[in-house]
Amino acid sequence: MDNKGEEAFLQPFKKNSVLKKSFWYPYLDPKGSIVWSANKVLYQTEDGKKALVNGISGIRMIKDYDAPRKNIGYMFMIIPKEATESVIGNDLINHSNKIQIIDQLGNIVYSTDSSEFGKKLSKSLWADVHATKHNGSIKKKDVQGKEMYISSYTSTYSNWTVVTYINIADTVKDLNTIKKSTILIGIFGIMASLLLTAFFSWSLSKPIRSLALRLSKIKRGNTLPHRGQANNREVEILYKSFNSMLNDLEETIKILSYKQIREEQAQLIAMKAQFQPHFLYNSLNTIYYNAIMEKQNKVAHMVLSLSDLLRYSIQPGSDFVALREDLEQLNRFIELQRYRYEDKLQVEINVEDALHHIPIMKLLLQPIVENAISHGLESVKGRPWIIQISITKEENLLQFVIEDNGIGMSEAEMKKALEFDRDRNELDEKILHTGVGLPNLQHRIKLIYGDQYGLHLSPSVLGGLKVQFNIPILINKMIGGLEDENNVSR
């Protein structure tokens, strides 16, 4: 279009004065910058008739090349609405939301709502949009009775502003639906969890209740193990432990019953052995005094030692004596043996005096020495018989080592020597014998001190057998019916 408004392919301007009255004319830049605007500026042919439709126009002055200050016309650039929509897009997720493009004059150049083309934006809203231009911030505002989030951004090039409207109610509608669904799912989840918890609690507690019932029946002597399959691994472990406990309980009952029977047998045998103890001692005393009168001092001394030996072995009382008393008993036994073997028997005892008060099991040393003489030394010819006894203290234990230079034992013989036969009634066979044998001694040590204690046999450096064992120092045991004064080990 020239500067007179002629030769226009848009809406023609008959006169230059009409051109100057256009709303965009005052904004034309003499330097030639483009002024963007929007109105019904395009012709559209429908049924042979021409009609103006909405579009975006860009207008600038055209200057004479030879005289730059001279205006020779105007250039119009038309952008159809369809071209704008192809750039911006009109496929909104929620149709209650919308996008507007507003020019520098507050005119709505483009809107996803086609009814708003060419309209002026309200002054209050335009003020808010201008207040936040360039920064893209979001504001909450009431628009036509609806709460909206409004975000705007102004181009520094065209000075146009893009405004986005988001309907808050429609936006959070899906969130509210999700919230309700989440609450319902949570309620159903809690109910399902409670039901599952109740079921698993019942299924788990049922076998435990059954186990508790079986435990209560043990008091009435019912020790039958559980038969059947468990429904889970933990309960199966409980049932296995229960069956194992019953087996251990039955074994313990058998051991205690056996021990009780043996004790009762021992009491009966002891009563038999004491049928007339005064008669036995009086008879020995008569022999002793006759020997004294006949000046048979050696025989008299032997009879006195034998009397003391028998009295210590069969007299009732505590199972524990001071180490000193057991050593005295051992010396009486050795003295009697020396009357028979004379200087051939050499016994060396090494023990500190500070250990003499410590309580030990009665008849602990004599059986070992007796076994060494009868099974290890009697068949030795041509050399002295040597027995070495060492007693030491290590922390809260007494350590015993007894060695001899006899014939010793093989590995098989050592193993067999400590085997205890429960069915053999040795008390009946050897009621008046001073020795109880290594198996019986081993059994007594384990019964009194515990299974972790006992005799250990090995070859001796002297050439014969070495017997080793440890026993705990039990300072609270009664000795001869009286408790140790200090009640401590020194």
**Helix orientation angle between 323-341 and 297-314, rounded to the nearest 10 degrees:** 140
Assess contact for 181 and 166: CB atoms under 8 A. no
Q: How far apart are CA 333 and CA 128, in angstroms?
A: 122
DSSP one-letter string for 34-57: -EEEEEEEEEEEETTEEEEEEEEE
What pLDDT score does 253 carry?
Answer: 82
Assess contact for 148 and 142: CB atoms under 8 A. yes
| pLDDT digit string, tens, across residues 198-223 | 887 777 777 777 777 777 777 766 66
What pLDDT score does 43 carry?
Answer: 52
CA-closest candidate to residue 54, choices 105, 101, 15, 5: 101
| pLDDT digit string, tens, across residues 475-490 | 766 444 444 434 433 3
**Helix orientation angle between 297-314 and 277-293, rounded to the nearest 10 degrees:** 160
Burial of 441 (0-12, 13-18, 19+ CB in 10 A): buried
What pLDDT score does 273 carry?
Answer: 54
What pLDDT score does 399 carry?
Answer: 95
Architecture of the domain delimited by 95-218: 2-Layer Sandwich (3.30)
Task: Tell me which CATH homologous superfamily contains domain 317-483.
Answer: Histidine kinase-like ATPase, C-terminal domain (3.30.565.10)
Q: Could you tell me the two tokens for 272? A: 């038999």
What pLDDT score does 89 carry?
Answer: 62
CA-closest candidate to residue 371, choices 406, 399, 338, 340: 406
Q: Which range is most confident: 19-33, 192-206, 305-319, 366-380?
A: 366-380
Window from 3-12, 166-175, 421-430 with minimum mean pLDDT: 3-12
Give the residue-averaged pLDDT of 123-142. 73
Q: How far apart are CA 71 and CA 2, in angstroms?
A: 9
Listed by start position, the domains of the chain span 16-83, 95-218, 223-265, 317-483
Give the residue-averaged pLDDT of 96-113. 79
396 or 435, greater pLDDT = 396
| pLDDT digit string, tens, across residues 6-47 | 444 444 444 455 567 676 777 777 777 777 776 655 555 556
Angle, CA of 160, 165 and 168, to the nearest 5°: 160
Partners of residue 277 on adjacent β-strands: none
Helical segments of 67-223, H only: 81-88, 123-131, 168-218
265 or 106, greater pLDDT = 106
